[in-house]
Amino acid sequence: MGQSNKKNFSYFKLFNIKKRFNLSIYEFDFILREVLNKTYSDYLINDISNEEFEKIKPYIEIAKYKPVEYIFNKAFFRNLELYVDENVLIPRNETEYLVDIAIKIIKERNYYKIFEIGIGSGAISISLAKEVDKIKIFANDISFKALKVAKKNIKKYQVENKIFLFCGDSIKSIKSKFHLIIWNIPYIFEDEYIYLSEKVKAEPKLALLYNENVFSYFLNNFKNFLLDNGSCILEISPKLSKKLKNYGFEILNDFYGIERFALFSII
């Protein structure tokens, strides 16, 4: 009886701390793991001590306005643990599914020459390099600072022989053709941006904001950079579906049922 009351009290206490600081379970769990090597569920049984709380408090204060991934310079993507900072987008769950689609296509069609536009932290390219044999990935980013982060992660995962980086604006400076072009485009529209949380706004605007000129240039020219049986996969906003269908793309949903990916193939 006494024991079960204690359990309820522990959960209640932790729940109240989480609520007071307005954090998600994911954020709270992230901080507990990093600082105390514990998880949120550990405290459903054992009380969080005052000493432990004092240790996590500075981090939960910062986490009110800064993503936990930037606080600890760490983000998890598929089976990778990537270095991240304010110069790169924090890789998202949906993008893990983009990688699944890419791997399926690469294997089915025996692709080996891949181009990723806007590599950011390296989440997509490093996953492909680690999970698929015998591919070469050329990857750019318009942000030199993002490329520095990608380079660090590429080195960590020892895939320097599979990923080649350069600074560039979408397909503008490329001279070669590829089996697969992949791009998680910045797809937040200007009128949506103001409604984003402060934490999302801590991410680079360049990685978030949709740019009509850049994307239209891409759509009008990307086919020139595909090999004969080539494909292109994009991560998109549903707002772009109609436009992309007009360019011959097939639209695929993410696991929330939202139109999130666009696939073009030369058959």
Distances (CA, A) of 253 to 174, 179, 234, 238, 239: 30, 23, 12, 9, 13
Residue 78: CB atoms within 10 A of its CB come to 17
Element (H, E) at 10: helix 2-20
Distances (CA, A) of 11 to 14, 15, 39, 235: 5, 6, 13, 39
Shortest CB 249 distance to ligand SAM, Å:
18
Would you state the torsion angle of the CA atoms of residues 215, 122, 177, 180, taken in this order, to the nearest 10 degrees?
-80
What distance in Å separates the CA atoms of residue 170 and residue 167, rounded to the nearest whole number? 9
Q: Where does this chain touch ligand SAM (CB under 6 A) — which range of 5-13, 30-38, 84-92, 238-246?
A: 84-92
* Of the candidate residues 184, 231, 234, 260, the single one contacting ligand SAM (CB under 6 A): 184
Comparison of 43 and 153: residue with beta carbon closer to ligand SAM = 153
Shortest CB 68 distance to ligand SAM, Å:
16
Phi, psi angle pair for 115, to nearest 5°: -130, 120
Which residues between 7 and 26 bind ligand SAM (CB under 6 A)? Answer: none
For the CA atoms of the chain, what is the radius of gyration? 21
What distance in Å separates the CA atoms of residue 37 and residue 115, rounded to the nearest whole number? 38
Q: Which residue's CB atom is positioned nearest to ligand SAM?
A: 118
Amino acid at 192: E
| x-marked contacts with ligand SAM along 121-150 as a string, rule CB under 6 A | x-xx---------------xxxx--x----
Shortest CB 214 distance to ligand SAM, Å:
5
Structure tokens at 175: 């001279």
| x-marked contacts with ligand SAM along 64-83 as a string, rule CB under 6 A | --------------------
Longest Cα pair distance anywhere in the chain, in angstroms? 73
* Of the candidate residues 131, 169, 192, 259, the single one contacting ligand SAM (CB under 6 A): 169
Shortest CB 94 distance to ligand SAM, Å:
9
Which residues between 22 and 51 bind ligand SAM (CB under 6 A)? Answer: none
Shortest CB 163 distance to ligand SAM, Å:
12
Q: Where does this chain touch ligand SAM (CB under 6 A) — which range of 20-28, 49-57, 120-128, 221-229?
A: 120-128
Q: By CB under 6 A, how many residues form the interface with ligand SAM?
A: 23
What distance in Å separates the CA atoms of residue 23 and residue 191, rounded to the nearest whole number? 26
Q: Where does this chain touch ligand SAM (CB under 6 A) — which range of 31-39, 117-125, 225-233, 251-259?
A: 117-125
| Interaction site with ligand SAM (CB under 6 A) | 88-89, 91, 95, 117-121, 123-124, 140-143, 146, 169-170, 184, 186, 206-207, 214
